[in-house]
Structure 1
Amino acid sequence: MFSKILIANRGEIACRVIRTARRMGLKTVAVYSDADAEAMHVAMADEAYRIGPAPVRESYLKIEAILDVAKRSGAEAIHPGYGFLSENERFAEACAAAGVVFIGPPPSAIRAMGGKSEAKALMETAGVPLVPGYHGADQDPALLRAEAERIGWPVLIKASAGGGGKGMKVAASAAEFDAQLASAKRESAAAFGDDRVLIEKYLERPRHVEIQVFADGQGRCVYLFERDCSIQRRHQKVIEEAPAPNLPSEVRRRMGEAAVAAAKAIGYVGAGTVEFLYDPAQGGFYFMEMNTRLQVEHPVTEMITGQDLVEWQLRVASGEPLPVGQDDLTIHGHAIEARLYAEDPDRDFLPQTGTLEHLGFPPCGPHVRVDAGVRAGDAISVHYDPMIAKLIVWDVDRASAVRRMRAALGATQVVGLATNVRFLEGLASHPAFLGADLDTRFIERHRADLLPEPAAAGPRALALAALGVLLDRERTAREAAAASADPWSPWVRTDGWRLNEEARDTLTFRENGEDRLVGVVYRRDGYRLELPGGESVTAGGEFNPGGTLEADLDGVRLSSVWVRQGADITVFHPGGSHRLTLVEPLTGALDQDVPGGRVAAPMPGKIIALLAEPGSRVEKGQPLLVLEAMKMEHTLKAPSAGTLTAYRCAVGDQVEEGNDLVSFEAEG
């Protein structure tokens, strides 16, 4: 066994590998970019080395820099995590040449499965069913268009060299094909350094079911059952579960055996995942690709089998045999994983950047696991994937696991930027999800249900928000008084003290553009809060040392989390969470909505393409330009019918969030 390993990755997966290595008594070496100098994985590792600036091509994709750190630190092996260099055959070869063990499959296996087209040809030879498509080497756009016509619309254009939804586009008709092909090729080249694509028939209601395989260097290979990853947005997984609901045991066996045969056919060693599209109506399954690395969703497999797959990786890479055989593996219970992202579901899941001002997770134990790579105070950067954490739950059956997931999501608290927590709660509560009526377009079909208008804060939430403001003012006043020349002066009191009249005040909270007024009557033992609708409540309480608001509302005691960020106040309470803006009377003019007709950068990024002619008339929703940010392309469209008078940016420009990108005159 190794004594020291280097993790050539960052964030959640780097922290995940460090935890198992530490448990096994191994020393760990982290690498970091300038943007990650204070990151969680850097703090957790025994040693950490800078490898370059923030952009991945100048840091986490620099093979020479990573191998130099391995040499300087004395690391005997390198764990690549997932993404970055994890499926790069050149990196695996370079590790071998440098005398460092690559904790993954041999370069030949990565090569065999690294190109989706080549992998599909190999599987076709092996007799594994394939989705109808074109997997050839000729990338002439005219040929690709002709193949798409032959296959029949809609078609899926897919990056041959990568995964994670990058370089993947759907063309519903011939009119869309050229633009979608160009976009897929740009994304693929940017993410993987390879713009080759394949074309496949876009199946209407398939399920995404994948098999976890594991092989050792002695020729043994097992499958650790399946995961259902059908809940996706933008071809990226959102919720994964194991085992796959309602999968017949015979289909499970045939899938598992096919996956093992695929691994053995290429001399595979280590952890890998064979992905299939499954047609429940016909019982058939079709090979999609093999990921020659540990998957993001591997924890659900660990939860139902009781195995640590990272430990397996380390042991197999050091030359040990698999710890168990196929007959020793059984499924116990049901596990579900939800990916917590910094993204705004109401803005088409636009990735978000910013600082995590507050971050809270449910307590971990036998039923709940949280794999995170960030802490409160850390930043979500434009340079990397916006995943905050993975919430994983386990219970004896699926219904119980779903209940646990809803509870875990309800206990998750994020302040500082938009997240998909409310969207995940909607998924975990949707009747179709509860009934396991799953397919890869689940989110598209149920979008209206999953993205409802947020409910307004009720009386309890408003009362807690107001009580928090009042107690916070008291605390601030006490601190100011203690530092003043006269700490007992009545003029520093915040209890509404007056000489000859009842003390009153009004707090104004703004939510979704509507002002909500809360009247305050100061009392010796607390406050009386007059809420919208005529309801009033006697309120008192305190912030405990941990920051929790311990409130008493008309004799009902409850705990909540109250977080203030400037004028924004977020309240997490047993009934949900609400973000309100405190309108202070002396803060000056209120921000006004920007008039219609503006096209601004929704986040920092790089201009990739300009899609219309200056001076031309455009229709509402017509694509105007393409912005690349957070490793994905985002198409910005005309806000209304009008005239594009000029672009205020050029291809290649780096723009900041809020920058005006076009001059636009709206009609009417």
Structure 2
Amino acid sequence: MGLHKRVLIANRGEIAIRIAKAAKALGMESVAVHASIDAMSLHTRMTTHVRPLSQDGVGAYLDGAAMIDVAKQMDCDCIHPGYGFLSENAKFAEMCAAEGVVFVGPPASALTLFGNKVMARSLAQSCNIPVVPGSSATLSSVAEAQGIGESVGYPVMLKAAAGGGGRGMRVVASAEDFKEALERCRSEAMAAFGCDDVFMEKLIERPRHIEVQILADAMGAAIHLYERDCSVQIHNQKVVEIAPAAGLEESLRQKMQDDAIKLAKAASYVNAGTVEFLVSPEEGSYHFIECNPRIQVEHTVTEQVTGIDLVATQFQIAGGASLENLGLADQTNIAAPRGYAIQARIVAQGVGVITGYKEPSGSGVRVDACGYLGYAPPAQFDPLLAKLICTSQIGGSLTDAVTRTLGALDEFQIGGLPTNLAQIRAILEQAEVCSGDARTSFMTEHPDISIMAAQPPSGDTVGFLEQQATKLMGPGSRKATVPLESHLPPLELSDSASGVECPMAGNVVKIALVERARVKAGETVLVISAMKMEAAVPAPCSGTITALQGVREGDDVIAGQIVAAITPDTGDAEQDFVARDPNETWTLVLDEVKTLQRLAEERLAPGSTDPGVVRQRSRGKLTCRERISLLLDDDTFQEVGSIAGFATYNEEGGIEAFTPANHVGGWGKIDDHTAIVCADDFTSRGGHADGAIGSKSRYLDQLSIELQAPSIRLLDGSSGGGSVATMVPQQQKVGESDAQESSGAIKAGRPRVTGGGGSFLPGHLGSELYTEQLSTVPVVNVLLGSVVGIGAAKAVLGHFSVMVRDIAQLFVAGPPVVSHAMGYDITKEELGDWRIHCTNGS
């Protein structure tokens, strides 16, 4: 038959580009197709010809009849389906054959067989290939599923019988979970594959996911191109793939390779395919799970270690070539893998416009991608932007390949769009990945990585590229967003209503919203499909649906779109609150805050027996809160950092005691004018402060600048400096101290110290802040006691400093320090009361 002349590529994105390049290398012409939303996708610029499709969205690429019509109009003699969409659709393959257009892939019979996972399991069993225990047929009801689940033992995995790619899969831990899980699996399977049949398998704990690449021709010959390790997955979606699989016991590896060829021959398989297994290394066992009758996303790593172009080989076999014609007559013609190759899937983690784009390059670095500057990836499709493939030197180790991949990640710039680049780096830095022993439970075992959000670019190279992009495009350009808008008018909410909000952009696959109907909080009212997964949207509260936006199943929605209004009826809010788990709300935190605030206020309340407060009152002095209350207009004080301090907790997590900060501050009104006010509490810890309290004081100074409000400091004590004599225990000789850091609430005679002392020393003087404050707003210092240390420094950093007769003193170091240094006793009045400072002219 020979090679075909022109191929229609029934796909989009990076795989369509990959197919176009392979066709061009073979001297073939290519035709790209696209939905209207994909008109600006890169694959439409990489082919000989391009044609639009009449449908839009995902449906455009699932319309087999439309694909064949375009193929015939463009005189295409073959169609390459890529992966996903129509690639495993047996009916489509039959339609191609009926119209005289060659389907580049296995025959319809093989698609039918392996498109039904239950039939594939049965074939594997007939070939004495081990399979995972599970159902022998598709599930017909929840009751049947529960019965089988009890027999094989929980947990189990529900799987779509048709298709793959991680879609239509759910783990079920108990019989009670079947109803929701079965419904979601069937819905995802129907949306992705047009068939909602689901079967069940026992969940294998912590396996490795190993797959064998096979090639077969129409003459009955079949070979393997070794295996790939695809164990690192998120929601059953492969993220990092490696070829060959490291650390496998050689006899186990050989058995899987032999079984893969055995299965291909038993199925009369033709073209490229992948036979997948779950491996339990500790038990030395493996189980067949499925055969993917198409090119895989991760075919690239096999190409890198074997030197065989799999897509080109697909075209050649579809053109009638035998493996012998291609120099691949039997397994002895296949050289051993040349080192290791790693593929990292770079995906979009949200919507946006790419405002900066540069792929890494260099020896052993390959990128298959569809991104470019200005591209806005449509949210309704697979979020894959690029595949980064890095190969070790010939004979190199897996560690070499990991190191090369990490280096390439440092050079990969994708600006303006949240991606998983940082997450990929975190994955590759884990020891089990570098040693080749990652399991499918990797993300569960590393929850910090699994929930890692997109991060801004880091590293010198990408940082430089981002900087240059900002200069060229303007400062506002880095915040470009996708021009996504709903075609429906926004829904206005009344003051009493809560909105049902779409958490992400996607396609509505199920809607259970009926105006005037009653719903309960947490009840699923909407299901959105995005990035190959379905997300159930719960009702935010109980109540009656009082307004609808008019969204229907099949409509596209955007993140934040309000599709319905729910108005709580009498008693609904109270019932919802009682029904909620306190651990899933802020209730416990808010209760703790209230307790700490209460303890702080009770300490200074009238009748308080706290020793420091009693001593303050015995001197005829007010507490810090009383001073603030007298200074400000009634009920205007807004406190900052009300719970700064130290608390002691009991074994149940309850608060036993609390020592509040020695610094109280915030803002309020004086004769109806805003002012920043802070007051020292010398009764708390002798005025001693730590870094948090120092930051609190600095924040209040900054706040006065931002609000353009005068700052009034009511100084009493060290104002954060602490007492050297009190805070540092006596030392017999240099370096000797029994100082230890205490924890919890501060008790009398047990100061909080760390080694040589616990006083807070800022990392810098803050001169710039004080200079700005003094040049911007009025600053008034009122000395209401012995002001020492940092407090003394603050006392002179103001426009006005007022000392109160008979009770105020000002000195840098107190009498104990002076007496020790000078050798004679001195009182605090002699050292620095108002008379001294007036005499000195200060």
1:285 counterpart letter in structure 2: Y
Q: How does 1:23-62 map to 2 (within 5 A)?
A: 23-57=25-59, 59-62=60-63
Aligned mates of 1:658, 1:453 — CA distance in 2:
18
- Cα distance, 1:336 vs structure 2: 0.4
Q: How does 1:152-551 map to 2 (within 5 A)?
A: 152-322=153-323, 323=326, 324=328, 325-329=330-334, 330-343=336-349, 352-363=350-361, 365-395=362-392, 396-449=396-449, 451=451
Alpha carbons 1:81, 1:294 under 8 Å: kept = yes
Output the TM-score relative to the length of structure 1. 0.75
Aligned mates of 2:378, 2:403 — CA distance in 1:
33
Change (3 A) 1:597 1:439: farther
Q: How does 1:622-641 map to 2 (within 5 A)?
A: 625-637=526-538
Alpha carbons 2:508, 2:526 under 8 Å: kept = no
Aligned mates of 1:634, 1:19 — CA distance in 2:
36
Tell me which residue corresponds to 2:584: none
Q: Which secondary structure does the structure 2 equivalent of 1:634 belong to?
A: strand
- Cα distance, 1:338 vs structure 2: 0.5
Alpha carbons 1:11, 1:40 under 8 Å: kept = yes
Alpha carbons 2:470, 2:478 under 8 Å: kept = no
Tell me which residue corresponds to 2:143: 142
Per-residue Cα deviation, 1:341-366 (whole angstroms, up to 9, x for no partner): 111xxxxxxxx233222222102x44
Per-residue Cα deviation, 1:412-457 (whole angstroms, up to 9, x for no partner): 1112221111111111112332233311110111022565689999
Alpha carbons 1:563, 1:569 under 8 Å: kept = no
Tell me which residue corresponds to 1:521: none
Alpha carbons 2:245, 2:436 under 8 Å: kept = no
Change (3 A) 1:261 1:378: same
- Cα distance, 1:377 vs structure 2: 1.6
Per-residue Cα deviation, 1:93-122 (whole angstroms, up to 9, x for no partner): 111111111111111111111100111111
Matched, 1:606 2:502: no
- Cα distance, 1:213 vs structure 2: 0.3
Residues 25-34 or 644-653, more deviating: 644-653
Aligned mates of 1:206, 1:173 — CA distance in 2:
21
- Cα distance, 1:408 vs structure 2: 1.3
Q: Which secondary structure does the structure 2 equivalent of 1:208 belong to?
A: strand
Identity of matched residues, % = 38
Tell me which residue corresponds to 2:18: 16
- Cα distance, 1:648 vs structure 2: 5.2
1:117 counterpart letter in structure 2: V
Aligned mates of 1:74, 1:383 — CA distance in 2:
30
Per-residue Cα deviation, 1:9-30 (whole angstroms, up to 9, x for no partner): 1111110011111112111111
Alpha carbons 1:610, 1:651 under 8 Å: kept = no
Aligned mates of 1:53, 1:630 — CA distance in 2:
20
Tell me which residue corresponds to 2:4: 2
1:306 counterpart letter in structure 2: G
Change (3 A) 1:597 1:398: farther
Change (3 A) 1:565 1:194: farther
Residues 629-638 or 179-188, more deviating: 629-638
Aligned mates of 2:452, 2:266 — CA distance in 1:
48
Matched, 1:663 2:566: yes
Aligned mates of 2:499, 2:539 — CA distance in 1:
9
Q: Which secondary structure does the structure 1 equivalent of 2:62 belong to?
A: coil
Per-residue Cα deviation, 1:185-211 (whole angstroms, up to 9, x for no partner): 111111111000001111120111000
2:420 counterpart letter in structure 1: N
Aligned mates of 2:448, 2:277 — CA distance in 1:
28
- Cα distance, 1:566 vs structure 2: 6.1
Q: Which secondary structure does the structure 2 equivalent of 1:231 belong to?
A: strand
Change (3 A) 1:597 1:400: farther
- Cα distance, 1:599 vs structure 2: 4.9
Change (3 A) 1:637 1:409: farther
Q: Which secondary structure does the structure 2 equivalent of 1:281 belong to?
A: coil
Output the TM-score relative to the length of structure 2. 0.60
Tell me which residue corresponds to 1:511: none
- Cα distance, 1:618 vs structure 2: 3.6
- Cα distance, 1:318 vs structure 2: 0.8
Q: Which secondary structure does the structure 2 equivalent of 1:393 belong to?
A: strand
- Cα distance, 1:50 vs structure 2: 1.6
Change (3 A) 1:596 1:132: farther
Aligned mates of 2:455, 2:64 — CA distance in 1:
50
Aligned mates of 1:138, 1:450 — CA distance in 2:
31
Q: Any gaps of 5 or more consecutive residues in structure 2?
A: 481-495, 578-586, 588-842
Aligned mates of 1:454, 1:200 — CA distance in 2:
34
Q: Any gaps of 5 or more consecutive residues in structure 1?
A: 344-351, 469-546, 551-559, 571-578, 580-594
Per-residue Cα deviation, 1:230-268 (whole angstroms, up to 9, x for no partner): 100111100000111201222111111100010000111
Per-residue Cα deviation, 1:5-60 (whole angstroms, up to 9, x for no partner): 22111111110011111112111111111112232111110011122232232x21
- Cα distance, 1:638 vs structure 2: 6.5
Aligned mates of 1:185, 1:133 — CA distance in 2:
18
As a proportion of its length, which structure holds more helix? 2
1:646 counterpart letter in structure 2: I
- Cα distance, 1:369 vs structure 2: 0.4
* Count of aligned pairs: 540
Q: How does 1:69-84 map to 2 (within 5 A)?
A: 69-84=70-85
Change (3 A) 1:417 1:288: same
Aligned mates of 1:455, 1:10 — CA distance in 2:
27
Change (3 A) 1:204 1:170: same
Aligned mates of 1:398, 1:240 — CA distance in 2:
12
Change (3 A) 1:387 1:596: farther
Aligned mates of 1:454, 1:36 — CA distance in 2:
25
Change (3 A) 1:425 1:122: same
For the aligned residues, what is the CA RMSD? 3.0
Change (3 A) 1:385 1:98: same
Alpha carbons 1:77, 1:101 under 8 Å: kept = yes
1:151 counterpart letter in structure 2: V
Residues 191-200 or 145-154, more deviating: 145-154
Aligned mates of 1:603, 1:431 — CA distance in 2:
35
As a proportion of its length, which structure holds more strand? 1
1:326 counterpart letter in structure 2: Q
Change (3 A) 1:564 1:421: farther
Q: Which secondary structure does the structure 1 equivalent of 2:188 belong to?
A: helix
- Cα distance, 1:616 vs structure 2: 5.8
Per-residue Cα deviation, 1:111-148 (whole angstroms, up to 9, x for no partner): 11110011111111111101110031452332222212
Alpha carbons 1:608, 1:628 under 8 Å: kept = no
Aligned mates of 1:186, 1:227 — CA distance in 2:
30
- Cα distance, 1:175 vs structure 2: 1.6
- Cα distance, 1:656 vs structure 2: 3.0
Change (3 A) 1:600 1:111: same
Change (3 A) 1:20 1:179: same
Tell me which residue corresponds to 1:652: 553
Alpha carbons 1:7, 1:14 under 8 Å: kept = yes
